């Protein structure tokens, strides 16, 4: 089984953070391949960043090796619908997977995210998740250490405090939104009274479940393949992106 950890921004550290948690979750029986966007924002901070990152993530998918499923290593689930329409393998948004899993663990959900200025962007981009439907509260953290390698004890302390605050507000479960928080749920769970879910683990488990389900590519409906309008000025691999799984071009993973 091969999974693609596909990052819509250009920061390899973010890709590795998610893929490391995917490997820790799924074990050696699953091969996880890292793929980072070739162009676009280092991290997504604005609607303009998001627009460019959508191009970046579909471009990266077009040149990726052949895989059984794709995990989007970006908390805004960037490019999710476009890739589900274009490809015949499962495409899992890490935030969508987290919210779906959390709703099987509790009735009221608390959210922890990075950056207070991004909260509105989460509500916009994750509209399909209807975050306000069962919202218990939201804690936005500021922690530069989350975006670089090294000691995460300070970040984990902030997360633990946020989870405890949301617990006091009546949350049954907490979702950690942010690709850089992949793996954090595993680290802080022992200090928390309610379940904590992050996108790296939730998306990995969801991808494996969808592969096992073996559902076919829809032939009708919103995710059925559509004829494009004819692209110019984009990479050849994207312009001729075949219906089906991403096709490897060269290398040992063919």
Give tens-digit pLDDT for 9-39. 999 999 999 999 999 999 998 999 999 999 9
Give tens-digit pLDDT for 137-185. 999 999 888 888 889 999 999 999 999 999 999 999 999 999 999 999 9
Distance separating alpha carbons of residues 106 and 65, to the nearest angstrom: 37
State the pLDDT at residue 12. 97
Q: Between residues 222 and 39, which one has the greater pLDDT?
A: 39
Please report the domains of the chain, with CATH numbers, ordered by start residue. Answer: 2-95+204-239 (3.40.50.12500), 106-198 (3.40.50.1860)
Model confidence at 254, in pLDDT bands (50, 70, 90)?
A: very low
Closest of 48, 52, 57, 51 to residue 79, by C-alpha: 57
Mean pLDDT of 54-70: 95
Tokens (6 digits) for 75: 């908390």
Model confidence at 234, in pLDDT bands (50, 70, 90)?
A: confident
Residue 107 in contact with residue 36, Cβ under 8 Å?
no
State the pLDDT at residue 230. 79
Edge-to-edge strand list for the sheet holding 109-114: 135-141, 109-114, 173-176, 196-198
Helices (H), strands (E): how many in the chain?
9, 8
The residue behind tokens 């329409």 is: 85
Q: Is the pLDDT of residue 248 over 80?
A: no
3-state helix, strand and coil shares in percent for the chain, rounded to the nearest 5: 45, 15, 40
Mean pLDDT of 194-210: 97
State the pLDDT at residue 243. 44
Residue 95 in contact with residue 177, Cβ under 8 Å?
yes
Mean pLDDT across the chain, nearest whole number? 91
Give tens-digit pLDDT for 100-117. 999 999 999 999 999 999
pTM exceeds cut of 0.85: yes
State the pLDDT at residue 236. 78
Distance separating alpha carbons of residues 183 and 198, to the nearest angstrom: 7
State the pLDDT at residue 245. 43
């Amino acid at each position: 089984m091969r999974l693609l950890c596909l990052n819509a921004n250009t920061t390899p550290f973010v890709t590795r953070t998610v893929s490391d948690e995917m490997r820790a979750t799924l074990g050696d029986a699953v091969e996880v391949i890292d793929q980072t966007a070739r162009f676009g924002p280092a991290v997504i901070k604005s609607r303009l960043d998001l627009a460019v990152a959508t191009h970046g993530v579909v471009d990266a998918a077009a040149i990726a090796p052949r895989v059984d499923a794709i995990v989007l290593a970006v908390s805004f689930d960037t490019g999710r619908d476009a890739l589900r329409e274009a490809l015949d393998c499962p495409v899992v948004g890490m935030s969508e997977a987290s919210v779906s899993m959390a709703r099987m663990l509790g009735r009221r959900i608390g959210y922890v995210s990075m950056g207070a200025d991004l909260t509105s962007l989460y509500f916009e981009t994750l509209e399909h998740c209807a975050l306000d439907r069962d919202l218990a509260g939201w804690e936005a953290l500021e922690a530069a250490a989350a975006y670089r390698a090294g000691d995460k004890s300070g970040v984990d302390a902030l997360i633990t405090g946020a989870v405890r605050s949301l617990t006091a507000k009546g949350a049954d479960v907490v979702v950690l939104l942010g690709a850089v928080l992949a793996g954090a749920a595993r680290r802080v769970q022992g200090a928390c009274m309610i379940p904590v879910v992050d996108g790296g683990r939730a998306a990995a488990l969801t991808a494996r479940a969808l592969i096992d389900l073996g559902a076919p590519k829809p032939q009708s409906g919103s995710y059925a393949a559509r004829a494009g309008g004819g692209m110019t000025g984009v990479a050849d691999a994207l312009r001729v992106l075949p219906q089906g799984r991403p096709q490897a071009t060269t290398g040992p993973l063919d």
